[in-house]
Amino acid sequence: MSLSTNRWNRLRYSFWAPVYDPMIRVFARQRRHSLRLLDPQPGERILIVGAGTGADLPHIPPGCSVLATDLTRAMLDAARPRVRAGVHLALMDGQQLAVPAASFDAVVLHLILAVIPDPARCLQEAARALRPGVARLLFTDMTRDFEDILERSRAPLSVTHDSPALMGGLFRHLLLRSPR
């Protein structure tokens, strides 16, 4: 991925940040459903890659430690009103996560693989951040072929739940697990 691609993504998502919530409201029900599938428990560490304006944050139970990342400061500024105890925001590229390996119980990739320039690299990074065995990764997508992304990533993940595509085939929920 080139530096110019990152600049373009920062520019366009900075522009969209003030109007992003109304644009994604159509996915609110699917977002809540997928987070119920993830079943976050108090005490768990959760990484949200491409958190945008923080639309997932209200659906994660108190007592979870959450690191919500995004490529743009404008999106994180819009997410700030949703921050509560245990939730931290960080400016970060989902293709190069500045987090220790095996440090999260769960990773949320809501719609990010549909827009990130290198989705296979993002999935590799998410898998690297997961603790082995007990950890799980939640993925939702609209436009890209997940099986191809998983194969190209060579991430050691297995699918434990795959819901049928919703919204006319545009939205799919997958839950994955890292190996023991």
CATH architecture for segment(s) 3-177: 3-Layer(aba) Sandwich (3.40)
pLDDT band of 177, cuts 50, 70, 90:
confident
pTM: 0.85
pLDDT confidence of residue 170: 61
How far is CA 159 from its chain centroid?
16
User: Can you tell me the distance from the alpha carbon of 119 to that of 152, in angstroms, rounded to the nearest whole number?
Assistant: 9
122-132 average pLDDT score: 93
Strand partners, 140: 110, 173
Give every CB contact of residue 135 below 8 A, 6+ residues apart in sequence: 104, 105, 106, 107, 177, 178
- Residues 23-62: tens digit of each pLDDT: 666 677 777 888 888 899 999 999 999 999 999 999 999 9
- Residues 85-107: tens digit of each pLDDT: 999 999 999 999 999 999 999 99
pLDDT confidence of residue 111: 81
Per-domain residue ranges of the chain: 3-177
pLDDT confidence of residue 2: 47
Give every CB contact of residue 103 below 8 A, 6+ residues apart in sequence: 45, 129, 131
pLDDT confidence of residue 108: 93
- Residues 141-175: tens digit of each pLDDT: 666 688 899 999 999 988 888 876 655 556 677 88
